[in-house]
Amino acid sequence: MLLEGGASAPPFFCYPQSGLIVARLLHAFGHAALSPDPDLAVAALMIARVEYPELDADGYLEQLDAIGREACARLATAAPPPDTPHDVDEERYAKVVALNGYLFEELRFAGNEADYEDPRNSFLNAVLDRRTGIPITLSLLYMEVARRAGLPVEGINFPGHFLLRCRARQSLPFAKDLIIDPFHGGALLSHDLLARQSDHHELPRATKPQILARMLTNLKRVYVRMESYPQARLISDLLIAIDPLAASELRDRGLLAYRLKDFSAALRDLQSYLALIPSGTQHDDEREDRERIWEHVKALRKRVAALN
């Protein structure tokens, strides 16, 4: 839960830049995030407009296309290396190894272990410019390049560290899938070990909305730690565009509005949160949270009434 209080917004960012511009961004993002189109890059570049409002998205999409074309050419001629494990799909293994070599050795994309909390790690344009990012953005980059190269790669919402999977072809039912860690140079991980760590035999595929929501949740946490509350509020807007009934996001956006002294908006969101959380909830944490928010709502009602 977000910290509560009344800190003022930092001066370098004005929320909203324009009500109409923000409304259009949220509408376009919601449409892109919920579309069945597998493209993730367009929605990711919309997220980047939080920090880069004048971003030329087309230039970065063209850059991804160029990387994808080169990857496609390389994967078409990829041959299984001598150390290919006996229990994998040799063709998919050869292509993953070739793509890893191109992205992480030649283009030098790498996980930003030195400055993990830098918000630029969460923006696709900055990842392309700086060749570094966090697991979720490097995974998104990998998926977008792989898709352009004709290699089926999907996300895995592994706890604490986003990963990728390249499934073996259906014609090879006994071949193991490849689990890829883009943050560590495309390292191939043990499926059995990860399954034990997550308590699931089958690691569930991450959907497009889940991938984008994970990007946004990471970014919101970074902004809150930086006390960059206007950006965090806009990130909450984007999360709610994916799921308008996400109770925790309505709560967090309400608390962010409260910090920014937008008391009417805070009251609206916190009341919506209470409407979604039953008053007789049995979980201690939820019950305590609801009671705390109810106290805020009572205080906000008095504030808003005094302003009218």
| CATH at 303 | 1.25.40.10
Distances (CA, A) of 272 to 4, 118, 231, 289: 18, 32, 22, 14
**Do 193 and 56 fall within a single domain?**
yes
Q: What average pLDDT does the segment 188-210 reach?
A: 79
Q: 72 lies in a domain?
A: yes
pLDDT at 198: 64
Give me the helix-helix angle, 284-307 and 247-259, nearest 10°. Answer: 40
**Do 43 and 121 fall within a single domain?**
yes
In this predicted structure, the answer to whether residue 78 has a pLDDT above a threshold of 80 is yes
In this predicted structure, the answer to whether residue 4 has a pLDDT above a threshold of 50 is no
**Do 77 and 102 fall within a single domain?**
yes
pLDDT at 86: 94
In this predicted structure, the answer to whether residue 252 has a pLDDT above a threshold of 60 is yes
Q: 13 lies in a domain?
A: no
Q: What average pLDDT does the segment 156-167 reach?
A: 92
- Exposure string of 82-107, with b = 16+ CB inside 10 Å and e = fewer, is eeeeeebbbbbbbbbbbbbbbbbeeb
pLDDT at 3: 45
Q: What percent of the chain has pLDDT over 70?
A: 90
pLDDT at 284: 80
Domain final residue pick, 179, 198, 217? 198
pLDDT band (50, 70, 90) for residue 20: confident
pLDDT band (50, 70, 90) for residue 2: low
Mapping DSSP to helix (H, G, I), strand (E, B) and coil, where does residue 3 land?
Answer: coil
Q: 221 lies in a domain?
A: yes
The chain-wide mean pLDDT, for the chain, equals 91
Least confident span in 122-131, 223-232, 255-264, 274-283: 274-283
Q: DSSP for 109-141, please give it.
A: -EE--TTTT-GGGG-HHHHHHHSEE-HHHHHHH
Distances (CA, A) of 110 to 94, 100, 217: 21, 11, 21
**Do 289 and 268 fall within a single domain?**
yes
**Do 192 and 212 fall within a single domain?**
no
φ/ψ (deg, to 5) at 30: -60, -40
**Do 189 and 43 fall within a single domain?**
yes
Q: 1 lies in a domain?
A: no
**Do 104 and 46 fall within a single domain?**
yes
Calpha distance 276→221 (Å, rounded)? 23
Calpha distance 258→237 (Å, rounded)? 15
**Do 68 and 42 fall within a single domain?**
yes
Calpha distance 206→135 (Å, rounded)? 14
Least confident span in 47-56, 82-91, 166-175, 195-204: 195-204
Q: What is the pTM of this model?
A: 0.90
In this predicted structure, the answer to whether residue 194 has a pLDDT above a threshold of 80 is no
Domain final residue pick, 173, 198, 223? 198
Calpha distance 145→127 (Å, rounded)? 13
In this predicted structure, the answer to whether residue 161 has a pLDDT above a threshold of 70 is yes
In this predicted structure, the answer to whether residue 171 has a pLDDT above a threshold of 90 is yes
Q: 7 lies in a domain?
A: no
In this predicted structure, the answer to whether residue 10 has a pLDDT above a threshold of 70 is no
In this predicted structure, the answer to whether residue 72 has a pLDDT above a threshold of 90 is yes
pLDDT digits (tens, 9 = 90+) for 285-305: 888 899 999 999 999 999 999
pLDDT at 18: 63
**Do 179 and 228 fall within a single domain?**
no
Q: Which residue has the higher pLDDT, 41 or 306?
A: 41
Q: Say how many residues make up the chain.
A: 308
Q: Residue 80 sits in which domain range? A: 38-198
How many structural domains does the chain have? 2
**Do 57 and 192 fall within a single domain?**
yes
**Do 81 and 181 fall within a single domain?**
yes
The domain that holds 67 is classified in CATH as 3.10.620
**Do 95 and 239 fall within a single domain?**
no
Nearest to 213 by CA among 166, 273, 257, 155: 155
Q: Please, what sign has the CA dihedral across residues 82, 85, 91, 94?
A: negative
Q: 263 lies in a domain?
A: yes
